[in-house]
Amino acid sequence: MDKFKSLTGIAAPLPMINVDTDMIIPKQFLKTIKRTGLGKHLFDEMRYDASSKEIPDFVLNRPAYRKASILVAGENFGCGSSREHAPWALLDFGIRCVIAPSFADIFYNNCFKNGILPIVLPKEDVAKLLDDAERGANAVITIDLEKQEITGPDGGRLRFEIDPFRKHCLLNGLDDIGLTLQKAAEIDTYEARQRAAQPWLWR
């Protein structure tokens, strides 16, 4: 998993509440077990019409936001079914940070496991960032994970809270497998000791 220390990028405004995982990545695209290739289907039913043509008014289809790496959204983002494909699709599109007043628990946890930083802020702070994000290509926001600060286009700063363990994992690019591999030497020692004491388990 890629490390997340700081991010400077265009913020796309999505002022919708209760954006569920089926809106993020519709069910027909859940056949793959690969983490890549889902970005083109992110928000598929809002980005494309019935003939698969882009809907010009949707935020990620506007020229200014096609390379957005930050998404500013409404309450209860990521609700609905517990599909890990949702953060996969966001990450494959290029979104590394989602800012909202609240998130669904499973989606929130899945973001950390895939290198996406979900930031919870009070509604009034999110409203300010949504307003900033409406500036289009000038909606450049900087996220500093080490300092736990967001710097807006006008230089204004907001502080956010994050669990220290999750912060450590993002800063060091550690998913569940990476955390386990940190204990590889201890695991090898245990297995060698068990192999000697209980060889029948290894036949």
C-alpha to C-alpha distances, 46 to 26, 37, 121, 178, 194, nearest whole angstrom: 10, 18, 25, 35, 55
Find the mean pLDDT for residues 15-24.
97
**Under a CB-based contact definition with an 8 Å cutoff, are residues 81 and 24 in contact?**
no
Q: 33-47, 76-90, 139-153, 182-196: which range is least confident on average?
A: 182-196
- Do 110 and 19 reside in the same domain of the chain? yes
What average pLDDT does the chain have? Answer: 92
The label of the residue with tokens 């502080």 reads: 159
The pTM score is 0.90
- Do 118 and 72 reside in the same domain of the chain? yes
- Do 164 and 188 reside in the same domain of the chain? no
Does a structural domain hold residue 1?
no
Sign of CA dihedral 83, 84, 89, 95: positive
Whole domain around residue 13: which residue ranges? 6-172
Total of domains in the chain = 2
